[in-house]
Amino acid sequence: MTRSHWLMHGAAAALVAGSCLALSAPPASAQGGIILAGHRAVYDLKLARTRGKRAVETVRGRILYDFAGSACEGYTLQFRQVSEIDSGEGKVVLSDLRAATFEDGDAKTFRFNSENKVNERTTETVDGHADRGPSGIAVKLAKPKDKSFDLDAKIAFPTEHMRRIIEAAEAGKTLMELPVYDGSETGEKVFSTLTVIGHEILPDEKKPDDAAAGMAALAGMRRWPVTISYFEQGKAGGEQTPVYSIGFELYENGISRALSLDYGDFVVSGNMSQLTLKDTPACK
């Protein structure tokens, strides 16, 4: 349970009939017509179902997602996910992941810092930044070890990934493939992602019964069911299975509700119990 990308930002692979969008060009300016809303959301986690041989009896936890900024000033994210997994016979694992990121509005600069603890013992610490240039992305890590390497310019950062999903949804596209770098785990992995976008949910359909219910700012706003699957890039073999997937309902301003985190052997649901909207600074 060390991967956070979800939410924004960011996943079960599926075949969807209809039009297909395969994005491979370098990211365009994030200004566009997409305005991402600053907000603070809390999601309560619980076990939805299990499959396979891995025994999981209960899961409980919480995600805090605090997003702010604008296309002009850049976007900051404070993220924390605390999860308690009980596999029975007294085997309980407590995972505590904290992450902070900054991404500028043009997706040229990405800074990231994260720490993951398992049973109060630090297992992963990552600190670094990535800068996009004309010929590629230069990554510089300070933790877990001092290291520099280059990535393909076609790779997207997390906020840019979310913006392009919304752009695809508004254009009526149903499928999107895109490599993503989010600085997670050791800070060296790039994930291939497959995003499936369902039919737009009309305002009078599936009315929210969580913290989004009754919010005037969201009433009538467009939203879509989205599933993003994350695959290890460059892994050899035949048909790949995702490392994990996240499903959610995505509003056109970037807010997500009704989470479903699929780790393969078990699925965790995330109910949005709190939502506070923030003012989004206007570009000057």
Gap between the Cα atoms of 207 and 239, Å rounded: 37
Gap between the Cα atoms of 110 and 180, Å rounded: 12
Residue 15 forms part of a structural domain: no
Residue 205 forms part of a structural domain: yes
Mean pLDDT for the chain overall: 85
Residue recorded with tokens 């969201």: 218
Residue 209 forms part of a structural domain: yes
What confidence score (pLDDT) does residue 220 get? 86
Gap between the Cα atoms of 6 and 127, Å rounded: 19
SS3 of residue 171 by DSSP: coil
Residue 11 forms part of a structural domain: no
Written as six digits, the tokens of 63 are 């995600």
**pLDDT tops 70 at residue 1:** no
pLDDT tens-place string over residues 139-160 = 999 999 999 999 999 999 999 9
Residues with Cβ within 8 Å of 235's Cβ and at least 6 positions away in sequence, in order, are none
Gap between the Cα atoms of 166 and 172, Å rounded: 10
Distance of CA 37 to the CA centre of its chain: 15
Task: Please state the pTM of the whole predicted model.
Answer: 0.85
What confidence score (pLDDT) does residue 234 get? 67
Residue 14 forms part of a structural domain: no
For residue 86, how many other CB atoms are within 10 A of its CB? Answer: 16
Residue 10 forms part of a structural domain: no
Gap between the Cα atoms of 230 and 228, Å rounded: 7
**pLDDT tops 60 at residue 121:** yes
Q: Rounded mean pLDDT of 252-273?
A: 93
Residue recorded with tokens 């899961």: 59
What confidence score (pLDDT) does residue 126 get? 95
Residue 79 forms part of a structural domain: yes
Q: Rounded mean pLDDT of 24-38?
A: 61
What confidence score (pLDDT) does residue 281 get? 75
pLDDT tens-place string over residues 209-260 = 999 998 999 988 999 999 999 998 766 555 678 888 999 999 999 999 999 9
pLDDT tens-place string over residues 56-99 = 889 999 999 999 999 889 999 999 999 999 987 778 999 999 99
Residue 6 forms part of a structural domain: no
Q: Tell me which residue range forms the domain holding 229.
A: 21-277
Residue 194's alpha-carbon distances to 104, 233, 244, in angstroms, are: 24, 12, 11
pLDDT tens-place string over residues 2-25 = 333 333 333 222 222 222 233 333
What confidence score (pLDDT) does residue 8 get? 30
Domain total in the chain: 1
Under the banding of pLDDT at 50, 70 and 90, the label for residue 187 is very high
Under the banding of pLDDT at 50, 70 and 90, the label for residue 54 is low
Residues with Cβ within 8 Å of 221's Cβ and at least 6 positions away in sequence, in order, are 203, 251, 252, 253
